[in-house]
Amino acid sequence: MHSSTEAHQPKPSSYPRYINKEMSLLEFNRRVLAQAKKPSIPLLERLKYLCISSSNMDEFVEVRLARLYELSRDLGALTTPDAQDPKEVIKNLLQAAKNIVEDQYHTLNNILIPELEKERIHFLRRNHWTEQHNQWITQFFSESLQPVLSAVGLDPSHPFPRVLNKSLNFIVSLEGKDAFGRSNGLAIVPVPRSLPRVIKLPPEATEGENDFVFLSSILHANVSRLFPGMTVTGCYQFRVTRNTNLVIDEEEVEDLMSALRGELSGRQYGGSIRLEVADNCPRNIINYLLDRFQLDEDALFQVNGPVNLHRLNAVPDMANRSDLLFPPYAPKKMNTKRKSKNPFKLLKRQDTETLFDKIRAKDILLHHPYDAFTPVIDFLQQAATDPNVLAIRMTLYRTGENSKIIKALERAAQNGKEVTAVVELRARFDEDNNIIQAMRLQDAGVHVVYGVVGYKTHAKMILVIRREGDKIQRYTHLGTGNYHHITSRFYTDFGLLTANPEIGNDASKIFQQLTSLGDTKNLDVLLQSPFTLRTSMIEKIQREAENARQGKPARIIAKMNGLEEVTIIDALYEASQSGVKIDLIVRGICSLRPGVPGVSDNITVTSIIGRFLEHHRIYYFLNTGGQAELYGSSADWMRRNLWARVETCFPVIDPDCFQQVYEEGLAVYLNDNTGAWLLQPDGSYRQKQDNLPPFNAQQALIDTYTRTKQK
């Protein structure tokens, strides 16, 4: 007998052909939040996952949801790839988002805080403050908070202030009159971002070693001090999330950097999308805030706790409880191919063999974060000082602050090398930093360009041109991830260092495209968006389908961050119907619907959530009758990557590197049964369960690299 819920679920064959990509993204955030509930994960790491899920939700609202609101103003427009009415999609997304947010606060209040208390880590509520607590907190407010807080009374001469995107604010209801006889009754207290949202009490203020108070609690307890002579009748926190999408007509602007800097100054005041308020906020004040921000009821999120959970990410460091964190892992500082005779190792001062000699002898594969990012920096630093190096060319999408990469490029230019940097100014939320880095490079004499109008440069490439005797040798680094020294510690990515002449020649052609004019699309081995990558992937998928139809073995394994490009999905559906076994490892968005009878029976979609952020893009094709093919890429199978970005996709040719990428980038994840989630035909995910012993792919790689490091 079926439940009423089961009875109303559609049959698999009646599911829409594609999953809505925004709803799929929310499903990813559910999986992240689920990590915060896992007893097998160290407790403070679980708190970090909660913070990540909160940050993810912020970005979802200010980018994805904001874009749908923009689309909904276009009459007749439909979402892609699922072709739905944007207004209906927004309604469904808001409800799903509210469910996730409610789950976030339930996880904090009912799971994490009680378990933290068992470990003597306390978040002290106001009604539990002792006299000792109160004395210190009152002094802290007077000395550290009150001088930087500016309460704004609301009256005709003090209009409602401009509220920054995602900033913490309090709306205060008052009785009485101020020094000028005014009695409007409402005030706003904006809280500067420089103030911590969680304060650890010092030993003189408390008995516990890890006692914390929320900034909001301190302000609630002392807010009356901001309004002397008046009576505070209510104080309620709120936060507004705004549209942070930048709108720049690149065809019309003469200077992209100047135009972008102008847009960035207004990003914090974009259109309102969401209002978060404390759940004890009275209805009349909620209505007042909704009206001020021109939002309807659907945009209201009432929360039981601090309105920005992401700021709790400061607690693990302040708590100083390493026993409640993942054991530290130091990346391996040499190439990690266990069974090969790969000669690469970090150069020592007395080593006369250059890194270029090592690369020329054999391709070098780096698997981050298990391998250190240091060799990539060494590659550039040696190029900067090597008298035989003539030129360095590099794409920069994200680098981070105080980047050794930037310093190496500056030094190379100062040493007289011809240095070209293709800096993508429009890397989301890194625009400010990229502008600063571009200006630094220009000041050092680096030739800086910003790519191609209308196309983000997302490729990850370094090309070093070196004179060796009477010939020119090209050395290339190609990667699946950014040249960012911080994210390389917790993003999984492959990087290939090679002296392969065909790869070097193709990289040179791509840099020529990016820095000058001319039609140089004829590449030998690299695939490139927006020209050959999509069509080549489809051809390889179709080749597997044809092999299956002929009764030959056929196999596709692909790992990526997102999949929603329709022509790729359709090709995979066709291949599945032809009998190709297809395993997709997709961390985030997936619009392909697996396991639908007659459509995608032979396709499985696995999402891995773990200690590190899965970031590889790897594409494997069995290619029966020929040599199996394996590619690393900067591109996901997303429309933006395949149509609107400059991307590269490189073959892994060296047999040892091929085997390592296959084993460590694909096979190990298909065996994971602890961090793996399986996409269902209805678009939901369930954790993978089998009768095999527990196996965690990331931990297995950590263990393997740790063993080889100790040898």
Active site residue 458: yes
Q: Which helix (H) or strand (E) holds 46?
A: helix 43-59
Of 310, 458, 615, 616, the catalytic one is 458
Which among 282, 327, 652 has a CA at the least distance from the CA of 498? Answer: 652
Beta-bridge partners for 495:
366, 479
Residue 237, SS3 per DSSP? strand
The torsion of the CA quartet 453, 454, 458, 462, rounded to 10 degrees, works out to -20
419, 443 contact by CB (below 8 A):
no
Distance CA 76, CA 400 (A): 41
Burial class (CB in 10 A: 0-12, 13-18, 19+), 661: buried
670, 583 contact by CB (below 8 A):
yes
Distance CA 323, CA 333 (A): 25
DSSP string for residues in 247-275: ---TTT-S-HHHHHHHHHTTGGG--EEEE
413, 446 contact by CB (below 8 A):
yes
Which amino acid does the sequence have at 130? T
407 phi, psi to nearest 5 deg? -60, -40
Q: Output the six-digit token pair for 183.
A: 């009695």
- The region, left, alpha or beta by phi > 0 then psi within -120 to 50, assigned to residue 595 is left
CB atoms within 10 A of CB 581: 17
- DSSP at 16: -
Distance CA 49, CA 46 (A): 5
Long-range contacts of 144-151 (CB under 8 A, 24+ apart): 145/195, 145/215, 145/218, 145/219, 145/222, 146/222, 146/225, 146/226, 148/192, 148/194, 148/195, 149/189, 149/190, 149/191, 149/192, 149/219, 149/226, 150/189, 150/190, 151/187, 151/188, 151/189, 151/226, 151/227
The set of residues, in sequence order, having a beta carbon less than 8 Å from that of 62 and lying 6+ positions away, is 165, 166, 241, 242, 243, 244, 270, 273
The torsion of the CA quartet 475, 480, 485, 490, rounded to 10 degrees, works out to -150
Residues carrying an active site annotation: 458
